[in-house]
A = this chain, B = another copy of it.
Amino acid sequence: VNETEIIRKLFSPLAATEGAFGLRDDAALLPAGDYVVTKDLMVAGVHFLESDPPDLVARKLLRVNLSDLAAKGARPVGYFLGCVWPAKIKRETIARFAEGLTVDQETFRISLYGGDTARHVAPDAPLMLSVTMFGAPPRQEFVRRSGASPGDDLYVTGTIGDAGLGLAALRKELACAKAAKEFFVERYRLPTPRLTMGGALSGLASAALDVSDGLIVDAGRLAEAGGLAAEIQTAAIPLSAPGADWLSGEDDPHAAYARLATAGDDYEILFAAPPTRRRAVEMAAKVSKTPVARIGQLAKGEGVRLVSQDGEEIDTGAGGYDHFAS
């Protein structure tokens, strides 16, 4: 096994598009256009587990980047891939990783355009993955993180907290039925980028971002970008059936809500829109076949409040994952 063989056999077939030169050059040439570009890293032990299947790791890598493009209303086109493999990597693992890329390249109609690959010298250094993904801007405006106004509603797609429970289950920190565990783990390993709904948000949402580090911390980012405060009602947070089951079995429902709302890895779109557009948001959700829930409001002020049905404010700690908190 050598570097050239790995690139030629496993990765070049993923770069069949014009301008990628089949990965046989030092740079790619993008077709003329405007581009929305995002970059998300994934590191074993931080963003995924070493035990996660390599094909699902590859698909998650694409999907977390697709999720960023979705939140901006962009249509994905292609990506650049960086991989630093562990010292003891086997060719078979890389092949399974490339298979995962193949599956999701077809699902999302994107192409590999270039990249770089290396191998760690340090014996236990973890797999490190980096993607820079680009797409076409939405026909109407690019949906910024800022842009929300006081009084705007706050919405989120899909369901919240499943992936966090999946991670806990994989770490054997969660007791639940086998079917529920499988559901949570699937949600952790394979997020669903909300591209169709994201496209519909252009011209509709006043602000948007994807929920990656936790609903509370990401709501804080959206609010802060607009110089606002956010309030989220626990009862309005959309839960999956297994998520609701788990919650109903918890002794402290406030702590359970806080856990779901700060768990991260949801990769749903959080967005704001004025109340006058409630009907339009409903229509967009219907047309794009995407569950959307109205979970709160934005107001003058700062910070995020998570409020229970009885009006009590729930402590959410740091609100989500911070890579530098120690």
Contact = CB atoms under 8 A, between A and B. Distances in A.
A82 B39 contact: yes
Contact of A24 (B35, B69, B145): B145
Contacts of A187: none
Nearest to A324: B3
Contacts of A71: 26-27
A27 B37 contact: yes
A6 interface: yes
Interface string A262-303: 000000000000000000000000000000000000000000
Contacts of A113: 37
A118 interface: yes
B125 A122 contact: yes
A29 interface: yes
Nearest to A5: B324
Nearest to A39: B80
Interface string A314-326: 0000000011111
Interface string A66-93: 0011011010000011101000000000
The quantity of this chain's copies bound in the complex is 2
Contacts of A33: 32
A1 B324 CA distance: 7
A251 interface: no
Interface in A35-88: 35-41, 43, 45-47, 68-69, 71-72, 74, 80-82, 84
A82 B119 contact: no
Interface stretch (A101-109, A126-134, A171-179): A126-134
Given A40-B116, A115-B39, A119-B46, A26 B209 contact: yes
Query: Of residues A46, A82, A113, A326, which shows the largest number of chain B Cβ atoms within 10 Å of its Cβ?
Result: A82
A25 B114 contact: no
A34 interface: yes
Contact of A25 (B118, B126, B145): B145
Given A46-B118, A324-B1, A132 B26 contact: no
Given A25-B209, A125-B126, 16 more contacts: A1-B324, A24-B146, A26-B209, A27-B69, A27-B74, A28-B36, A29-B37, A32-B32, A32-B33, A41-B82, A41-B130, A47-B118, A116-B130, A122-B126, A128-B128, A132-B132
Interface of A: 1-6, 21, 24-41, 43, 45-47, 68-69, 71-72, 74, 80-82, 84, 113-122, 124-126, 128, 130, 132, 134, 137, 142, 144-146, 209-210, 225, 322-326
